[in-house]
Structure 1
Amino acid sequence: MTNPEMIILDLPDEAATLQLGEDLALALRQGDVVALHGDLGMGKSTLARALIRAIAEDDELEVPSPTFTLVQRYPLRLPVQHFDLYRLSNPEELEELGLAEALSEGVALVEWPDRAPEYFDSVTHVKLFEVGEGRRVEISAPESALSRIAHTLEVRKFLDRSGYAGAKRRFMLGDASIRAYETIRTAAGERLILMDAPARSNEPILRDGLTYSDIAKLAQSVVAFVGIAQALRDNGFCAPQILAMDLDAGLLVIEHLGDGAFLMPDGSVNPTRYQEAGRLLAAMHEREWPRSITVAEGVEYVVPIYDRAAFEIECALLLDWYIPFTEDRVATDEERQEFNQLWEPLITRLLECEQSLALRDYHSPNIIWREERDGLDRLGVIDVQDAAFGPAAFDVASLAMDARVDVSPEVERAIVDAYCAARTGAFDRAAFEEAYAITAAQRNTKILGIFVRLAKRDGKPGYLKHLPRIQDYLRRALAHPSLSDLRAFYERHGFLGEQAR
């Protein structure tokens, strides 16, 4: 049970303690301290060991008690330092043991924190008491940490009531949005994926009562993922099957499509795979796609239209984030006016070109290579929730100018050629090539702004390393004759960086 300041749980046996450690591991963030309280034999070390093994993703990891060494260090995905203060002679020794350093890098688990109580005021406290044959746990923590812990326990309840009681949970990834993913292994040994994507909230209003994600037509809840994945499967494409869902909580259990990386082991491009992915798009663009999809009883998902307002607000990210980052100033009204005047007729062409279902994030991180499969089933498509009806060329540009990996001009052309060769009927290649260039310019304009926003607003500086690649892609796209005026503007403002050698 819970109250606003505490979570209280009953653990009937050691298995429940191990499961709690696993659940807590998924709630921890850098800088967290977990203070473990309880008499000898209450299970503090058992809980700590389960938590560390869950972060390490290794159920056999040796986790010795730090009773005599006082601290054990684990350089894991989230670095962990395990302190046992039972033999601490002076609270000031904690500084010598590296508590501050531990929190700057990862998390700290502390047994016997009462030996230095002044260091553990506003932290997560886990208190274990004997109750019959089992244990009772009281968890108190600062508001943000307690909220994370309550959420991970709600996820466990969702798994239990969905038929996956006892499933092992492991962190998989958190993407560039509000979503997080876990790998779960059922009691029968089956691997599945948990998608944890609460509905968007607390976004600032930009105009007309709408947020950025409203205007850009980004998914507001997991309803979008369920609908688009279902539509893709119904049309013969490989998207995850939905095995369990709580739409209100934003929780899904979905099919695990495999571990086959789309890129090569060294992270480079495999031209053959990219060409196959281009041919898959050709097949998609010759299907008729529904506008409305039944997701559950009484729940319909209406696929949005990638409209002018969406294109414009995405392009504006360049001015809103990239200019302040590179030039330490805001864009002037004159610059914004010229920028908008240049994009206005180009966006009109995008609205008038061939339209289809555009996944909008069709590139290497979101494609699973299934070597043992054939045809359309060989490529698994994930992260599909932001799909919209828009230019058919958009996903081709997303693939052939993959934001996270270098695609050479030669391979880019091979992808485009493979796509065009696979199109049938009255396919107008010249019109496609123009739409491809404009969508490539629009997408990479947006990405320059998004990657800076991820670095500066969201604390993810790793995205900045991709900027030179995006500038190179922009140079390629802007070589199309229809974009000559836009290219001149970008060159004049230094948006294209230095010419790659």
Structure 2
Amino acid sequence: MTARAGLAADFLARSGWGTARRQFLAGDASPRRYDRLTLGDTTAVLMDAPPDRGEDVRPFVVMARHLRALGLSAPEILAEDAGNGFLLLEDLGDDLFARALARDPGREQALYTAAVEVLATLQAAPPPVGLPDHSPAFMAEAAALSLTWYARAVTGQPQDPAPLQRAMAQAMAAHCTARPVLVLRDYHAENLLWLPGRAGLARVGLLDFQMGSMGQPEYDLISLLQDARRDVSPALAAPLIAHFAQITGADPERTATACAVLGAQRALRILGGFTRLSLHFGKPGYVRLIPRVWAHLQADLAHPALAGVRAAARLPEPTPEALQRITDLCGTVPTL
């Protein structure tokens, strides 16, 4: 037994789950992992977030309790050991939006409408104090990851991120001017669960929100509708953007423009982030998602508000050869 496995066993024993059967449930882009625990007829989830690898469970705890206080379905915290990076969580089940819709595509509008309305409720409430603020400068720097990681990997040449950072910061300063609200940042079909046994907006289960921050209202909306892992048709997305504007009292045209700007920023960041996950962290599975992100980026860059970004974002197309190069470099870049 490793030292960390021993710490986990001690935590579970203290929490009354020492004899539970453990089964791997999920991992993600971070060092965190999740195991499902079964004890008799009861289940729970163990979050293992190693502090020595940069993880901290405390933001998750704060956000989970905030969301639950709003009547939303974040997992209840059943036990915690923040010092060692363990949480025992309520098990919300396996019915992720992505799985539910694979079984029954006809429910897409209903599930996505509920997810949009959750955002309106979330954003109308005062946020937790002390959250980081994702300013236009911060967001522009993140967008430049598309050059420093993605374009560099494909071309083999260093890239100057400054023109893209300036153009993105200008676009955001001009078109993303709403009062900052709480954004969960990874709001998409593999982090949302459908809980039909609950009522109202509580039917939408929320996962992976520990990176919550202050940002623009449309950021989580476009994360939902321009999903790197699942196609959402424009015929569904456009009415949902209009619905979001209506229920939040925002100007529809401004909302649509902000969605394009934030969508481009997010796609640029993800292109760099997915490449970094392959090259630096040895996770090549993210490379196959790049073409969908590229398609989102091209759709967003067609908006007139992004003319400057379009001129500055001179990125190589993710051809099969380009993607193979990123895959071939998997795990070979310890630092930039």
Q: TM-score range by the shorter chain?
A: 0.7 to 0.9
The alpha carbon displacement at 1:354 in A equals 3.0
Moved more, 158-167 or 310-319: 310-319
Equivalent position amino acid for 2:132 in 1:
P
The aligned counterpart of 1:420 is: 245
SS in 2 for 1:437: helix
The aligned counterpart of 2:122 is: 284
Q: Distance in 1 between matches of 2:136 and 2:319?
A: 28
The alpha carbon displacement at 1:387 in A equals 0.3
Q: Which has the higher helix share?
A: 2
Change (3 A) 1:270 1:351: closer
Structure number with greater Rg is 1
The alpha carbon displacement at 1:272 in A equals 2.5
Q: Which has the higher strand share?
A: 1
1:315 to 134, 140, 143: 143
Q: Distance in 1 between matches of 2:56 and 2:137?
A: 21
Equivalent position amino acid for 1:440 in 2:
G
Q: Distance in 1 between matches of 2:37 and 2:140?
A: 40
2:176, 2:258 within 8 Å by CA — same for their partners in 1? no
1:172, 1:182 within 8 Å by CA — same for their partners in 2? yes
CA RMSD of aligned residues (A): 2.2
Give unmatched runs, 5+ long, in structure 2: 321-336
Q: Percent identity?
A: 34
2:263, 2:297 within 8 Å by CA — same for their partners in 1? yes
Q: Does 1:185 align with 2:185?
A: no
1:154 to 3, 7, 16: 7
Paired residues for 1:387-406 under 5 Å: 387-406=212-231
The aligned counterpart of 2:18 is: 165
Equivalent position amino acid for 2:295 in 1:
D
The aligned counterpart of 1:252 is: 87
The alpha carbon displacement at 1:201 in A equals 4.5
The aligned counterpart of 2:264 is: 441
Q: Distance in 1 between matches of 2:265 and 2:104?
A: 26
The aligned counterpart of 1:494 is: 316
Equivalent position amino acid for 2:166 in 1:
Q
The alpha carbon displacement at 1:283 in A equals 1.9
Q: How many residue pairs get matched? A: 317
The aligned counterpart of 2:196 is: 371
1:349, 1:435 within 8 Å by CA — same for their partners in 2? no
Give unmatched runs, 5+ long, in structure 1: 1-23, 25-148, 203-219, 292-301
The aligned counterpart of 2:297 is: 474
The alpha carbon displacement at 1:337 in A equals 2.8
Change (3 A) 1:171 1:438: same
2:241, 2:255 within 8 Å by CA — same for their partners in 1? no
Q: Does 1:222 align with 2:60?
A: no
Of structures 1 and 2, the one with the larger relative CO (CA 8 A, separation 6+) is 2
Instruction: Write out the 4+ residue segments of structure 1 that deviate beyond 6 Å after TM superposition.
Output: none
Q: Distance in 2 between matches of 1:200 and 1:411?
A: 43
The aligned counterpart of 1:134 is: none
Q: Does 1:240 align with 2:75?
A: yes
Q: Distance in 2 between matches of 1:281 and 1:307?
A: 20
Instruction: Give the TM-score of the pair, scaled to structure 2.
Output: 0.88
Q: Distance in 2 between matches of 1:353 and 1:167?
A: 48
Equivalent position amino acid for 2:102 in 1:
P
